[in-house]
Amino acid sequence: MASSKSSKTTLLLFFFIVTISAQQQQPFRCSSRGATCNALVDYVSPNATTLSAIRTLFSIRNLRTILGANNLPTSTAANYTIASRQTVRIPFPCTCTNNGTGISNRRPIYTVAPGDGLYHIAAEVFSGLVTYQEIQAVNNISDPNRIDIGQRLWIPLPCSCDDVDGQRVVHYGHVVAQGNSLQGIAQQFNTSQDTLSRLNNLTSAQDLIAGAVLDVPLRACSSMVNNNSMDYPLLVPNGTYVFTASNCVRCRCDAAAMNWMLQCESTQFNSSCQPIRCDGTPENNFYLGNTTTSSSSGCNRTTCAYAGYINTTTIMTTIAVDHSTCPAGSSATKLLQHWRRWNFVLVVINMAALLLCFLNS
Ligand SMILES: *[C@@H]1O[C@H](CO)[C@@H](O)[C@H](O)[C@H]1NC(C)=O
Ligand SMILES: *[C@@H]1O[C@H](CO)[C@@H](O)[C@H](O)[C@H]1NC(C)=O
Ligand SMILES: *[C@@H]1O[C@H](CO)[C@@H](O)[C@H](O)[C@H]1NC(C)=O
Ligand SMILES: *[C@@H]1O[C@H](CO)[C@@H](O)[C@H](O)[C@H]1NC(C)=O
Ligand SMILES: *[C@@H]1O[C@H](CO)[C@@H](O)[C@H](O)[C@H]1NC(C)=O
Ligand SMILES: *[C@@H]1O[C@H](CO)[C@@H](O)[C@H](O)[C@H]1NC(C)=O
Ligand SMILES: *[C@@H]1O[C@H](CO)[C@@H](O)[C@H](O)[C@H]1NC(C)=O
Ligand SMILES: *[C@@H]1O[C@H](CO)[C@@H](O)[C@H](O)[C@H]1NC(C)=O
Ligand SMILES: *[C@@H]1O[C@H](CO)[C@@H](O)[C@H](O)[C@H]1NC(C)=O
Ligand SMILES: *[C@@H]1O[C@H](CO)[C@@H](O)[C@H](O)[C@H]1NC(C)=O
Ligand SMILES: *[C@@H]1O[C@H](CO)[C@@H](O)[C@H](O)[C@H]1NC(C)=O
Ligand SMILES: *[C@@H]1O[C@H](CO)[C@@H](O)[C@H](O)[C@H]1NC(C)=O
């Protein structure tokens, strides 16, 4: 057991800290108690580092989760260098607490190193995304000046799972840069100043302080994912991608190219990923992600879409017909109403049967 106490902070320093953190932003509102979802936050690296170090710092299991959130190629190496002051988007699981605020769900876990103080961990290691008081509160630390080397601390990152204007969104903790305006941020992320002010309890544009973490709602691509799926609701914001269904499916949101429709395809992640086929189509070789614009149906575009997964061996698909390529009534808002008549097809990948096939061949 690590027993040496790391109580470096002096009383004087402690008062200095309180003055600084008094002007820190408020936590994010998250009203649906107990709800969980995925969220994003900016990490502005204080020093040059690597993606691999960031992955470890934020307790993220797979590097490709970070790659997808930052739209980096899947081939990006773990030792990819992140420059000092560069911003990396961190994906993490969020939960709404009992007091109406949202925090990262039991992650990341930081292990106290020799010489660490709570303030250093909050303000420097996690670049001010949390206050030391928030770390103290969730970890039941009675004296912030007494933490143990080797002690494991839950770092409560700010987040939310709330719908915004009746829409499911991904809440993104955006770190305000020097010279940013509310109008500029609203434009950059295709939201409105009103929405940002309301979510962040801002009374005037002057409330925008460089380094503050702003709750920015990101619209996600619409998907066909069934509500009994393990990854429901699969919310993928514009310009990002995710791996799902035990890494056997990759879904990307490209608002401009696909009119806010989520695009999913199968991956060859490892040998347990099988080709995922849509049944019930005239074509027999219609696989997840395949799209046809058949001449018999005129302008209708038919896609084999991802509909979710139940367990590691059962991936669901559906056939979606998109009329947006038709000349009449092809506005973006009407598009959703035009998705109709889709049937679920279970693609059961039975490992035992596969093994038998393999052995027989
Ligand atoms: C990163 O790792 C690859 C091999 O995985 C190696 O070839 C390359 O030199 C490394 N780059 C740096 C900057 O360390
Ligand atoms: C950044 O680098 C400086 C100087 O090397 C070091 O003192 C500081 O602890 C580093 N910060 C982090 C968060 O690693
Ligand atoms: C709400 O709860 C979280 C942790 O559960 C705590 O960090 C935060 O300070 C609380 N906020 C208020 C306003 O009580
Ligand atoms: C802190 O204490 C509360 C109530 O005593 C408990 O529910 C919670 O699990 C504790 N949190 C940690 C991180 O130990
Ligand atoms: C989002 O972008 C679309 C197209 O660029 C635009 O028509 C719409 O007004 C924007 N929404 C907001 C809230 O700014
Ligand atoms: C919004 O800010 C006002 C004044 O700063 C404060 O009294 C109020 O509690 C805040 N509301 C929320 C929901 O944070
Ligand atoms: C799930 O979707 C079905 C229809 O697709 C609906 O009848 C059901 O109420 C939904 N369940 C939940 C928990 O939303
Ligand atoms: C979607 O993201 C791309 C870059 O990835 C950007 O050029 C485009 O403006 C974004 N569209 C919307 C509507 O946000
Ligand atoms: C394939 O990847 C999944 C998920 O990462 C893993 O559970 C499984 O063991 C892997 N299978 C093989 C044959 O490597
Ligand atoms: C259909 O999908 C499969 C599997 O993803 C792919 O190999 C094939 O090239 C696709 N066919 C067409 C016509 O896009
Ligand atoms: C497109 O498909 C729908 C049904 O999926 C059908 O009712 C409609 O007639 C088709 N449109 C054309 C132009 O073939
Ligand atoms: C996965 O789900 C399917 C359909 O619900 C079921 O038939 C199958 O037994 C499940 N497989 C495992 C390994 O749980």
Q: In the chain, where do the E strands start and end?
A: 5-6, 36-44, 49-50, 81-82, 87-96, 102-104, 109-111, 147-148, 152-154, 169-175, 213-219, 240-244, 249-253, 263-266, 291-292, 301-311, 314-322, 344-348
Asked whether residue 97 is assigned to any structural domain, the reply reads: yes
Kindly write down the DSSP assignment for every residue of 297-315, as one continuous string.
GTT-EEEEEEEEEEETTEE
Same domain, 51 and 142: yes
318: Cα within 13 Å, side-chain hemisphere:
19
> How many whole angstroms from 308 Cα to the centroid of ligand 10?
19
Same domain, 344 and 297: no
Contacts with 16 (C-beta within 8 Å, 6 or more apart), sequence order: none
CB-ligand 12 contact for 311 (6 Å cutoff): yes
- pLDDT tens, residue by residue, 147-192: 999 999 999 999 999 999 999 999 999 999 998 899 999 999 999 9
Q: What is the pLDDT of residue 286?
A: 85
Question: What stretches in the chain show pLDDT beneath 70?
Answer: 1-25, 205, 280-284, 294-298, 324-361
Mutate which of 95, 99, 104, 157 for ligand 3? The one with the most ligand atoms within 8 Å of its CB, which is 99
Q: How far apart are CA 89 and CA 340, in angstroms?
A: 35
> How many whole angstroms from 33 Cα to the centroid of ligand 3?
13
Q: Which residues line ligand 10 (CB under 6 A)?
A: 265-266, 275, 287, 289-290
Same domain, 358 and 263: no
CB-ligand 5 contact for 238 (6 Å cutoff): no
Same domain, 317 and 266: yes
217, 171 in Cβ contact below 8 A?
yes
Same domain, 143 and 54: yes
* AA letter at 344: F
Task: Give residue 340's domain range.
Answer: 335-361
Among protein residues, the one whose CA lies closest to atom 5 of ligand 9: 246
* AA letter at 98: N
Asked whether residue 175 is assigned to any structural domain, the reply reads: no
> What is the chain's mean pLDDT, rounded?
82
Q: What is the pLDDT of residue 48?
A: 96
Same domain, 47 and 147: yes
Same domain, 58 and 146: yes
The count of structural domains within the chain is: 3
Question: C-alpha 349: how far from its chain's center?
Answer: 28
Asked whether residue 167 is assigned to any structural domain, the reply reads: no
Residue 100 Rama label (left phi>0; alpha psi -120 to 50; beta): left
CB-ligand 11 contact for 300 (6 Å cutoff): yes
The CATH number given to whatever domain includes residue 39 is 3.10.350.10
Q: What is the pLDDT of residue 348?
A: 37
pTM listed for this prediction: 0.82
Q: What is the pLDDT of residue 28?
A: 95
